Amino acid sequence: MPITDMTIRDMAQALEAKQFSAEEATRAHLERIARVDEKIHAFISVTAEQAIAAAQAADQRRAKGEVRSPLDGVPMALKDIICAKGTHTTCASKMLESYVPPYNATCWQRLEDAGAVLLGKVNMDEFAMGSSTESSAFGPTRNPFDLDCVPGGSSGGSAAAVAADLAVYSLGTDTGGSVRQPAHFCGVVGIKPTYGRISRFGVVPYASSLDQVGILAKTCYDAATVLEIVAGKDKMDSTSAPYPVKAYNQFCDSDISGMRIGVPKEFISDAIDVEIRQQLEEAVTQLRALGAQVEDVSLPHTAYALPAYYVLATAEASSNLARYDGVRYGLRVPAGNMRDMFVATRNAGFGTEVKRRIMLGTYALSSGYYDAYYNKTLQVRTLIKQDYDTIFAQGFDCLLTPTAPTTAFKLGAHTSDPLTMYMQDICTVPINMAGLPALVVPYALSSQGLPIGLQLIGSGFAEEKLLAVGSRLESVRLLPDLDE
Amino acid sequence: MMTESKRLIEEQQTEYVARLANLSFSAEELAAYTKDLESILNYMQELNTIHTDGVEATTHVLPLTNVFREDCIGDCLPNHDALSNAPDSEDGSFKVPKIM
């Protein structure tokens, strides 16, 4: 097996068996990036020198019998929204083009402590606002399964890098589906854990009450292995949850007979591509054959989640992005006085979609509209959350749904109408509104040869149940033909 | 939903919101943003079809309140590092253009 085909699990065993060194593994990935990424453009920056140094350090630890974790010496990529000390962190924005964080995000710190080798930073929609990675200020990423298609977004670079074997795994972020929809589009596993499961410290905020770090990997087992290392309470993030972290990969491939799985009828409509609905039916049959009880359920407020999400996310974004004023970091466009400098800087630094969301959020929070939009949305959020609380209180272990209405779409298909782009998130935003964990597993290829991933939704902090079911459902790895 | 009702946002209002957000637009951009905002706000009117009287607001999904830590000085970024990304600085401080 070529090194770049390997999962974390394969590579940890191969490194242990001294089949190759961490340095060889890293060089193999760097060579593949140099050869293939011209077509895909998953990476914004490649940190080759540091990666080789980190891999050599991993080899030295191994020689001394001081291996730190199954991730020690395994090369990976970070979405360019996660701060890695001394490495450019651009958020795919002109605003942060030259920003070099002087500190590490906690999630990256934990990976670095575990021996992870950072290959570089991967592309995304600007400030994570988008569903296609087309709003990146540095150009779009392409889907490894069809270079005319988008990889999804906002963590499109992360998903494409893993799908194309440019990195063994990647961290992304998910505010309304930004890990899960790209996982579906690119045929990889994507997990958005429960809100608060992974520290957000050092992750550039978009909508703080919805943002969560997620993992894109080749298998559920790999995603589970990474989750165990990055999850947990962090004193730098007061919203990180103080609950114990589990040995998540121990739950993979376990017996799921007797588990109760709900299929919410509100997620299955004519708006969902017929092939996706057919694959969902297949999965239901498969789960029943594995001994699970599958039942139809109802989440009556689902239709309100998308409009509510776009009020809440933009309101929080307008406040979060007020910090980009040219004073402490990032772009500054000089002007005669302070306010003119703010405006000139923000005009030049932000792209069209970011400005659109700042405008929407500012409107929703402005005097006279605050109650009608923002407060109303917080109440709707309660109703959405209660739908899920009710279902899980009835004893359901998880829910099965589509991930998005379609498979990967062509570049440019939705760029002229923001609302049709927002509709991409219809199956994923309710989960962020409720703060729940969700896992997307690759399930099949469509008749067009594009991946279809299915979504499993769990109750708060029950990631292990999703991984148990997901690992039984995930297809053999879907591989793009990159015609090298 | 799409009844012949009055517009939800006019260009003048878009301009006002832009000012609040420290942004400014050309006439062309203003027209485009107003059109986009109108269409999205119209979609958001869906929320008015749901009764929420007496429903409590959810600002945060986790049952965490009053997260405290010891009141002691921890590790801080050295001044030099904190200023390392500053567009302009002087004597260990951020420097900005005149305010008035």
**Of residues A375 and B1, more confidently modeled:** A375
Q: Tokens in use for A50?
A: 């540091």
A43-46 and A117-122 beta bridge pairing: antiparallel
Note the helical H segments in A151-208. Answer: 156-163, 180-186
> How far is residue B23's CA from residue A94's CA, in Å, rounded to a whole number?
15
In a domain, A385, yes or no: no
A398-402 and A260-264 beta bridge pairing: parallel
Which residue of B33, B38, B62, B73 is the best one to mutate when testing the A interface, meaning the one whose CB has the most A CBs within 10 A?
A: B62
In a domain, A152, yes or no: yes
In a domain, A312, yes or no: no
Using only the alpha carbons of chain B, give its radius of gyration.
23
* Residues from chain A contacting residue B43 (CB–CB below 8 Å): 307, 310, 419
Question: Å from A329 to nearest chain B CA?
Answer: 5
Q: Is A386 exposed, middle or buried (0-12, 13-18, 19+ CB in 10 A)?
A: middle
**Tens digit of each residue's pLDDT (9 = 90 or more) over A215-270:** 999 999 999 999 999 999 999 999 999 999 999 999 999 999 999 999 999 999 99
Using only the alpha carbons of chain A, give its radius of gyration.
21
Residue A293 has pLDDT above 90, yes or no: yes
Question: Å from A105 to nearest chain B CA?
Answer: 14
What is residue A148's predicted lDDT score, i.e. its pLDDT? 98
Structural domains of chain A, count? 1
* A130 and A87 Cβ atoms separated by less than 8 Å: no
What is residue B66's predicted lDDT score, i.e. its pLDDT? 85
A192 three-class SS? strand
In a domain, A463, yes or no: yes
| Contact criterion met (CB < 8 Å) for B62 and A241 | yes
Question: Å from A11 to nearest chain B CA?
Answer: 36
In a domain, A384, yes or no: no
Span A74-84, average pLDDT: 98
Least confident segment among A207-211, A367-371, A425-429: A367-371
Residue B100 has pLDDT above 90, yes or no: no
Residue A27 has pLDDT above 50, yes or no: yes
| Contact criterion met (CB < 8 Å) for A338 and B17 | no
* Residues from chain B contacting residue A209 (CB–CB below 8 Å): 59-61
* Residues from chain A contacting residue B94 (CB–CB below 8 Å): 327-328
Span B10-29, average pLDDT: 97
CATH for A251:
3.90.1300.10
Domain that holds residue B41: 7-50
Side chain identity at A218, as an amino acid letter? K
What is residue A484's predicted lDDT score, i.e. its pLDDT? 67
> How far is residue A175's CA from residue A203's CA, in Å, rounded to a whole number?
12
Residues of A annotated as part of the active site: 79, 154, 178
B46 three-class SS? helix
Q: Tokens in use for A474?
A: 């995930």
> How far is residue A88's CA from residue A47's CA, in Å, rounded to a whole number?
10
What is residue B2's predicted lDDT score, i.e. its pLDDT? 47
Other CB atoms within 10 Å distance of the CB of residue A100? 16
| Contact criterion met (CB < 8 Å) for B97 and A346 | no
Span A30-37, average pLDDT: 98
In a domain, B43, yes or no: yes
CA-nearest of A150, A213, A153, A216 to A181 is A153
CA-nearest of A261, A265, A338, A31 to A165 is A31
Question: Å from B21 to nearest chain A CA?
Answer: 6
> How far is residue B24's CA from residue B50's CA, in Å, rounded to a whole number?
35
CA A336 to chain centre: 41
| Contact criterion met (CB < 8 Å) for B46 and A362 | no
Pick the residue from chain A with its C-alpha nearest to B82. A102
Structural domains of chain B, count? 1
In a domain, A155, yes or no: yes
Mean pLDDT of chain A: 97
| Contact criterion met (CB < 8 Å) for B56 and A382 | yes
* Banded model confidence at residue A93, pLDDT cuts 50, 70, 90: very high
CA angle A157, A162, A164 (to 5 degrees): 90
What is residue B99's predicted lDDT score, i.e. its pLDDT? 83
Residues of chain B with pLDDT > 90, as a percent, come to: 75
User: Among residues 5-64 of chain B, which lie with CB inside 8 Å of chain A?
Assistant: 9, 13-14, 17-18, 20-24, 33, 36-37, 39-41, 43-44, 46-48, 50, 52, 55-62, 64
In a domain, B61, yes or no: no
| Contact criterion met (CB < 8 Å) for A383 and B55 | yes
Pick the residue from chain B with its C-alpha nearest to A360. B37
Span A383-408, average pLDDT: 98
Pick the residue from chain A with its C-alpha nearest to B22. A343
What is residue B5's predicted lDDT score, i.e. its pLDDT? 61
Residue B1 has pLDDT above 60, yes or no: no
CA-nearest of A303, A316, A422, A434 to A373 is A316
The pTM for the full model equals 0.97
In a domain, B45, yes or no: yes
> How far is residue A105's CA from residue A103's CA, in Å, rounded to a whole number?
7
**Of residues B67 and A65, more confidently modeled:** A65
Pick the residue from chain B with its C-alpha nearest to A96. B85
| Contact criterion met (CB < 8 Å) for A418 and B86 | no
Span A307-315, average pLDDT: 97
In a domain, B98, yes or no: no
The position carrying tokens 């296609």 is A132
In a domain, A43, yes or no: yes
Count of CB pairs separated by less than 8 Å, A with B: 161
In a domain, B13, yes or no: yes
What is residue A104's predicted lDDT score, i.e. its pLDDT? 98
Question: Å from B38 to nearest chain A CA?
Answer: 10
* Residues from chain A contacting residue B14 (CB–CB below 8 Å): 359
* Banded model confidence at residue A392, pLDDT cuts 50, 70, 90: very high
| Contact criterion met (CB < 8 Å) for B22 and A239 | no
Side chain identity at A106, as an amino acid letter? T
Cross-chain CB nearest to A102 (options B44, B60, B77):
B77
* Banded model confidence at residue A21, pLDDT cuts 50, 70, 90: very high
In a domain, B65, yes or no: no
| Contact criterion met (CB < 8 Å) for B87 and A327 | yes
Beta bridge partners, A80, equal: none
Other CB atoms within 10 Å distance of the CB of residue A317? 25
* A373 and A311 Cβ atoms separated by less than 8 Å: yes
| Contact criterion met (CB < 8 Å) for B57 and A381 | yes
Domain that holds residue A399: 3-262+395-473
Asked if the bond preceding A154 is cis, omega within 30° of 0, the reply is yes
Pick the residue from chain B with its C-alpha nearest to A357. B37
Which residue of A310, A311, A377, A379 is the best one to mutate when testing the B interface, meaning the one whose CB has the most B CBs within 10 A?
A: A379
* A125 and A160 Cβ atoms separated by less than 8 Å: no
CATH for B42:
1.10.20
Cross-chain CB nearest to A356 (options B33, B43, B62):
B33
* Residues from chain B contacting residue A350 (CB–CB below 8 Å): 23
In a domain, A304, yes or no: no
In a domain, B12, yes or no: yes
Other CB atoms within 10 Å distance of the CB of residue A241? 23
Residue A31 has pLDDT above 50, yes or no: yes
> How far is residue A42's CA from residue A164's CA, in Å, rounded to a whole number?
9
Conformation bin of residue A199: beta by default, left when phi > 0, alpha when psi is -120 to 50 = beta
Q: Which residues have a Cβ under 8 Å from the Cβ of A199 and sit 6 or more positions away?
A: A105, A106, A107, A213, A232, A233, A234, A236, A237, A240
Side chain identity at B12, as an amino acid letter? Q
| Contact criterion met (CB < 8 Å) for A304 and B86 | no
| Contact criterion met (CB < 8 Å) for B94 and A327 | yes
Cα–Cα distances in angstroms (integers) from residue A268 to residues A148, A273, A301, in the given order: 28, 10, 14
**Tens digit of each residue's pLDDT (9 = 90 or more) over A179-196:** 999 999 999 999 999 999
